[in-house]
């Protein structure tokens, strides 16, 4: 953009200046991008002409043609293609992250269910075991009562003779 703008001429017939300020680093470039303050202050400094003749628009057309020019990725990609690829990658990555989150939530839910199954207490099962042990205790108590009664009867019979 700056190269095309500096090659053109403004409404005063003066050679163009950089349209955008120079960038210090590629990191954070979009946030650091600024327009030339002189052009912002005076729009007549936009270098739209290719030659210093009134009515010429060669530079403006060349700048407009940048939209469809293959200037990225070693001259194989247009700005529109690059933007589409970026949007696609962001969408794909967002969908992948969302799918991963859903899958991991399902795994956590399954692990919680397994943990509860192993360590959890079932009240119905515990009540069934309690009833079984109570019945066993009652059966043992009856057995020993019968044995005790038999021994008592035996001793009473032996004591009479």
- Whole-number Cα distances in Å, 153 to 127, 142, 145, 149, 160: 39, 16, 12, 6, 11
pLDDT at 161 over 70: no
pLDDT band (50, 70, 90) for residue 118: confident
Tokens of 143: 């057995």
pLDDT at 140: 96
Return the SS3 of 52.
coil
pLDDT at 40 over 80: yes
pLDDT at 120: 67
More confident call, 24 vs 138: 138
More confident call, 98 vs 30: 98
pLDDT at 160 over 80: no
């Amino acid at each position: 953009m700056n190269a095309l703008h500096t090659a053109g001429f403004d409404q005063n017939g003066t050679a163009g200046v950089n349209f955008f300020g120079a960038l210090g680093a590629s990191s954070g470039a979009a946030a650091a991008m600024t327009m030339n303050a002189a052009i912002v202050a005076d729009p007549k400094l936009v270098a739209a002409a290719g030659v210093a003749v009134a009515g010429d628009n060669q530079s403006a057309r060349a700048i407009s043609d940048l939209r469809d020019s293959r200037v990225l990725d070693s001259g194989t990609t247009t700005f529109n293609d690059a933007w589409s690829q970026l949007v696609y990658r962001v969408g794909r990555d967002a969908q992948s992250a969302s799918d991963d989150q859903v899958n991991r939530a399902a795994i956590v839910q399954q692990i919680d269910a397994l943990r509860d199954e192993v360590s959890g207490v079932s009240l119905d099962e515990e009540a069934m075991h309690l009833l079984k042990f109570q019945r066993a205790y009652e059966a043992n108590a009856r057995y020993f009562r019968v044995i005790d009664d038999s021994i008592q009867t035996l001793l009473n019979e032996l004591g009479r003779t």
